[in-house]
A and B are shown apart, each in its own frame.
Chain A
Amino acid sequence: MASQRGAKPARRRLAPTAHQTVGPFFPAQFIRPTDNDLAGLSGGRARADGEPCVIFGHVRDAFDRPGVNVILEIWQANAAGRFNHPRDRGPAPLDPNFSGWGRTWTDRDGAYQFITIKPGAYRAGARSNRWFAPRINLTLVGSGLMRPLVTAIYFPGEALNDEDPQLAAIGSTAARRQLIATLDDAPNDAHHVPAYRFDIRLGGKQATPFLED
């Protein structure tokens, strides 16, 4: 490299490492059985504050076939709207029993399930009056996905949905509606908590609205 002797090295920006597909062989041992239970309903640790709920659905591909072996990761605020991270300096309280992160993968039918706490709305910044509606941030990786797919799960009936900056940026009403989970009145599992269905389509005309990464 042609650098001048004694000259102060210029601060160079490093390019982010390129993504590659996670492939079909992600070790099962890396996903612990309780990683999909952020609320602590499965036992083994203290329950988180707030309204527990189930988020469930199917992942399907562009040809309506089950999205098998897709890894889903979620990240969300706690019931009070606070993210468990030092960069969130908002006034809402932290919950020592809520990490905000979870992970699971789809089974042979493409089905997945999380048990979590309905997140609170959160402000754009500590001194901002601009609000984001309650939502669960979702990242998908899997075989055939060369880059992670990113989107968010919203809740039905939230007044803030109409003002949410991300939903507003989606533009199309039909696409916005695809990001809002539906309350499922069928009896769900043994937890007896509200269950929200959020089906995911990876490709085709009916694809879930995924966000630029």
Chain B
Amino acid sequence: MFFRGATLALFLCAFGTDQGLGQGLSHRGYLETAVTAYPQAAPGDSGRWIGQSLLRYEPSYKLTPGFRVQASFDARTDTHRQAQRNWDLSFWDRTTQWPAFAVRQLSASYSRGPLSLELGKQFVRWGKTDILNPTDRFAPRDYLVVVDNEFLGVTAARLTLASQSDSLDLVFTPRLTPSRIPLLSQRWVVIPPAARGLTLNDAGARYPGGPQYGARWNHQGRAFESSLSFFQGFNHLPLLDTKLMANPLRIDVTRNYAKIRMWGADVAAPLPWFTLKAETAWFQSDTQQAGEYVLYVVQLERQHGEWLFIGGYAGEQVTRRSSVLSFSPDRGLARSLVGRASYTIDTNRSVTFEGVARQNGEGFYLKFEYSHAFGQHWRLTGQAVLLRGSESDFIGQYHRNSFGAIKLRYSF
């Protein structure tokens, strides 16, 4: 309740009705309606047609050249009970469903010379690669639809000191913002064959207390750009405690968040024929059930005429195995070859092809997208996603979830 009040107060202060503020005020946003069709039903989820609408409004106000308040608000509904049906306004993003109304971002930033400070709910993105970002630790995601996810903001204080060639980023968050994982009753949670017939029950989450913090130093050299990063906090992706319960017979699933420490590095080097980007992170944990591992990505990128090609490999080296189930799309996408090609047809039209193939051959994902803008405001996007593989593989387990989608967006 306090945060709802604080949110409203900050919003009113920032974007108040004083008409004199109009000059520094700008806004953008969109209304998007999407229809998704799944050709196959999934165990426990017979829904094959899903409609959803999202209204996103993003005002920002520049009080002085160095001081700015920015916000982003979402209102959402759908036909598949993925979105809540109440009037609550979510700030902390700890609901299992999409909140009907959410504060996606609400922060104030001040910059002067080499120093900039941002306070409030914001997006903190680290890393240089595109296909997977192991060092991107302040970037939880909404995985309700695993292969069509987006980032969640974190409530944080971020101080950046920058010179022309170097920058130091210091981030502090008072509490964890977890990634939103698929709903247990829906198709993006695949029940193992041995447990089929049992109901999965969401027994809630045990959120850890305490802050998280991290630092990243970035250097822009003549031949390459590189970073070193450190993070101390919690994994925003959960470990899953499962318990078989009677009356009624069910499996209770509880989400836990392991304490982690990350040491990371990334580099981008423009070379004559392509740009090399690489990123790696070593994860240690004091939580006994959690695994310890190294994730790394090497990708090559080349622009050729109107084509952009990105291809690479995401790898993993496990140093300690996890003793419990977890939901880990980042590790699930590791040990994979990843490629993406996009072509700009003209100023209004583009096509994108994307593919992921696990190196063991047990799962692959292909995506095709065509996007067409009409006039100044409208964009129509068609998507087709093919998922195949075996049930033991992170990607392969979703082999009944291939889908096609059409999205119509009105931007303002």
- The answer to whether A and B belong to the same complex is no
